[in-house]
């Protein structure tokens, strides 16, 4: 059971960042807060006994299988320990503190509460005037009669943890071929160019330039970019269109319309291959910087 809070000799008014404390309840787990505390990245304003007490409460929650839940859920399950943990979190985010002189204590409210602004009579004291300025700057002011009189959240259910963003894989980046893949692509391209160029150098136009030469050149590209089955299937559709019997120079468009479905399927398959998309993006970045 959490120890009873220590009574203060005089009431105190403190300024703390309640928004940050609430954000911690929403987005941090007991295990995460314990790691931050032990690493010295949290609780610099806590004394050594207070830090040890907070660590003990967080460890107890971890032993009760609450360590991976948001702190808000741990407070809902174990309110008794949660009140003390919340007070220690608020203490860790307390920036200013001043004791109220006994002569002015009568002007304070009878119950501990968060103060939107300090009562006017209290602003005569320099320390309290500094607190009033902090309150006007956005800090939360609290009247403490005991060390854990920070106002406990009245509606913890409203402190819903932040939604987990949907994971989106990083876009695939084009990598130029290396090793055996580079050599294989270069060999296939060289054979395709030779089959296309040697007859031309000999004064003869190849009968079917879109046949084997185009197939080898396309295969070289697909091997080089490490295309998937969609890339190979889409390229096959395009290659088949170029090798249709009616696909010749001077052919009317009316005789080619049966090839349009095959063209649509081929382009669709190519657009679904991430390696082909990465290659087009790489080319676009270099041609149109």
Q: pLDDT for 249-271, tens place per residue?
A: 555 555 667 678 888 888 899 88
How far apart, in whole angstroms, are the C-alpha atoms of residue 181 and residue 222? 10
> Which pLDDT belongs to residue 2?
47
Decide: 172 and 279 in contact? Cβ < 8 Å: no
Report strand pairing: 140-146 vs 7-16. Answer: antiparallel
More confident: 125 or 179: 179
User: Which structure tokens are listed for 178?
Assistant: 């290396």
Going 141 to 144 to 148 to 153, the CA torsion angle's sign is negative
How far apart, in whole angstroms, are the C-alpha atoms of residue 257 and residue 260? 5
Please report where in the chains the tokens 């009189």 appear, as a residue: 149
Rg (CA), the chain: 37
pLDDT of 33 strictly over 90: yes
Q: What does the DSSP 8-state code read for residue 4?
A: P
How far apart, in whole angstroms, are the C-alpha atoms of residue 175 and residue 246? 38
- Model confidence pLDDT, tens digit, residues 154-201: 888 888 776 655 556 666 677 777 788 888 888 988 888 888 777 777
Lowest average pLDDT, out of 22-31, 82-91, 99-108, 230-239, goes to 99-108
How far apart, in whole angstroms, are the C-alpha atoms of residue 184 and residue 178? 10
């Amino acid at each position: 059971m959490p120890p009873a809070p220590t009574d203060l000799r005089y009431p105190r008014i403190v300024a703390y960042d309640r928004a940050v404390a609430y954000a911690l309840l929403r987005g941090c787990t007991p295990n995460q807060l314990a790691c931050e505390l032990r690493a010295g990245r949290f609780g610099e304003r806590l004394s050594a006994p207070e830090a040890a007490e907070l660590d003990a409460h967080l460890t107890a929650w971890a032993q009760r299988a609450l360590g991976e839940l948001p702190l808000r859920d741990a407070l809902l399950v174990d309110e008794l320990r949660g009140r003390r943990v919340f007070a220690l979190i608020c203490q860790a985010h307390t920036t200013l503190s001043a004791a109220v002189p006994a002569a002015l204590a009568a002007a304070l409210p009878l119950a501990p509460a968060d103060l939107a602004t300090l009562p006017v009579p209290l602003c005569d004291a320099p320390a309290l005037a500094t607190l009033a300025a902090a309150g006007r700057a956005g800090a939360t002011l609290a009247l403490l009669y005991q060390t854990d009189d920070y106002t406990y959240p009245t509606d913890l259910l409203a402190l819903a943890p932040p939604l987990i963003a949907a994971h989106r894989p990083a876009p695939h980046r084009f990598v130029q071929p290396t090793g055996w893949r580079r050599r294989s692509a270069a060999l296939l391209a060289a054979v395709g160019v030779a089959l296309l160029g040697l007859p031309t150098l000999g004064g003869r136009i190849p009968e079917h330039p879109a046949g084997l030469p185009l197939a080898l050149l396309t295969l070289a590209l697909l091997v080089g970019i490490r295309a998937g089955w969609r890339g190979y299937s889409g390229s096959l559709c395009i290659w088949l269109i170029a090798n249709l019997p009616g696909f010749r120079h001077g052919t009317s468009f009316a005789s080619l319309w049966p090839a349009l479905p095959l063209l649509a399927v081929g382009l669709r398959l190519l657009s679904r291959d991430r390696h082909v998309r990465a290659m087009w993006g790489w080319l676009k970045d270099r041609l149109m910087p």
